[in-house]
Chain A
Amino acid sequence: MTAALMLAAYALLMATGGSWLLSRSRWPHRSPRLAVATWQAASFSVPWAIGLAGVVLLLPQSPVSAAVARIAHACAPALDAVYRVPGGTLAGMLVGALLLGAVVRAVLLLAHDLWMAMGDRARQRQMLALVSRVDPTLDALVVDHEAVAAYCVPGRGGRVVFTTAALAALGDKERLAVLAHEQAHLRQRHHLVLAAARALRRAFPRLPLMRTAEMEIAVLVEMVADDVSVRRSDVRSVASALRVLSSSVAAPGRTEVHPSAVHASALVRRLRRLVTPARPLTAVVLAARSLVVAAALTLPLVLAAAPATATLQSEVCPVPARAPATETDVSMG
């Protein structure tokens, strides 16, 4: 019971305080890769803690606890006792099932999104096979079209695609910069990062943390790809490619694009850090922040398992006749 409460408190703390701290922090543009991991840890830790709270609540009522006790050479009744919910097992089971259900729903949403995206991409690849040609100088596909666009189709055999209008707008060095940027997306599987953030936002629509995480992660993976592109070309080419494409990228007549400040400010943020680059975080700070990320994800597990580990130390088992654990077993376990 205490474990479940602590896990719930942890989820709440992450969803409010963690989100608040992260969105106020000034360092993410200096190390976008770590910032992506941090936003991911903050947003994953919420369903992770909620799910573990569900497990902890369901544990005393399930055959799982007996199995866990057998494997760990622990005392089953003692294990049940520490996780017991005062005020009735039914209430505990109900809340536990609800919590676990919310997490299962998030996983299903992600699976659904990934499945749909796979179908969409298969159709994209089929159409591209028919209407695009391979650019001999650039490792990319080219589609004849007057809309300016550069993008990649992730997945097996991922390809980078330019429209003829995009190629016409860009110089040689800028083309290579865009190519390197898109190849970074492909290599680092950013589409999966984006899909996970989107699924979490849809699974927990009331949590501002998930909305902010999705938006921030979308900008940060662009910054990660920009950095790769800068290393393979140069700052000038990446920045000017961004300027050239942004001044001509517009939705064609048939697609209505909703105005949102998000995309625009994302572009400004990307440009700003290219034009006036900040020092990357030092190795020490990087290591320290990585530890925080790891801690955010391990703490829920510690909270959930703490009562159980306490029972492993006790050598007395309330039901001696049926206890599987002898003293030698305990010392071995």
Chain B
Amino acid sequence: MKQFGELEAVIMDLLWSRGGSATVRDVLDELQRGRTIAYTTVMTVMDNLHRKGFLAREKDGRAWRYETVQSREQYAADLMVEVLEASRDRTGTLVHFLDAMSGPELRRLRGALTDGPDDAPQP
């Protein structure tokens, strides 16, 4: 399963860098430049990614043609929205180094933060 997870990332990378759609055969050809890999393995992983909603697909002749649903940047943005919401709700889902704060909070803090930044004792 661990290799599948890695392969998912590799295949998503590949599709993002191609910037378009691809069939299992296209992906296989690219992957086989660097490693030996079975057609069925690539097919399974791409089917998983489709099932999880990361890839859309449509029939192209007899094969499926796969396409990324969102760009990498959009996924990163979605991820960070979740992360910051978890920070605000403190659900314990994630643990932050620092809780997210609003603008007014930060302004209130400014005084406290600039107070003696250099009086930290030497270790």
Contact = CB atoms under 8 A, between A and B. Distances in A.
A310 interface: no
A252 B97 contact: no
A234 B101 contact: no
Interface in B34-80: 52, 54, 72-73, 75-80
B72 to A, nearest CB: 5
B106 A250 contact: yes
Contacts of B80: 143, 145, 147, 149, 163, 252
Given A117-B92, A195-B92, A246 B121 contact: no
A239 interface: yes
A130 B8 CA distance: 7
A193 B91 CA distance: 11
A255 B96 contact: no
Interface string B7-25: 0110010000000000000
Given A127-B79, A149-B83, A191-B92, A251 B120 contact: no
Contacts of A227: none
B100 A251 contact: yes
Nearest to B85: A255
A84 interface: no
A267 B109 CA distance: 9
Query: Residue among B6, B87, B92, B121 with the most chain A CB within 10 A?
Result: B92
B76 A121 contact: no
Query: Residue among B8, B95, B112, B116 with the most chain A CB within 10 A?
Result: B95
A126 B6 CA distance: 11
Interface majority SS (helix, strand, loop, mixed), chain B: helix
Contacts of B97: 150-151, 178, 181-182, 241, 245
A263 B93 contact: no
A1 interface: no
Interface in A140-173: 143-145, 147, 149-154, 161, 163
A254 interface: yes
A277 B12 CA distance: 49
A82 interface: no
A128 interface: yes
B109 A264 contact: yes
A181 B6 CA distance: 27
A174 to B, nearest CB: 11
Contacts of B5: 129
Interface of B: 5-6, 8-9, 12, 52, 54, 72-73, 75-88, 90-106, 108-109, 112-113, 116-117, 119-123
16 contacts: A120-B82, A120-B91, A129-B6, A131-B79, A144-B72, A149-B100, A154-B94, A191-B92, A198-B90, A240-B117, A249-B98, A255-B81, A261-B105, A263-B99, A267-B109, A277-B121
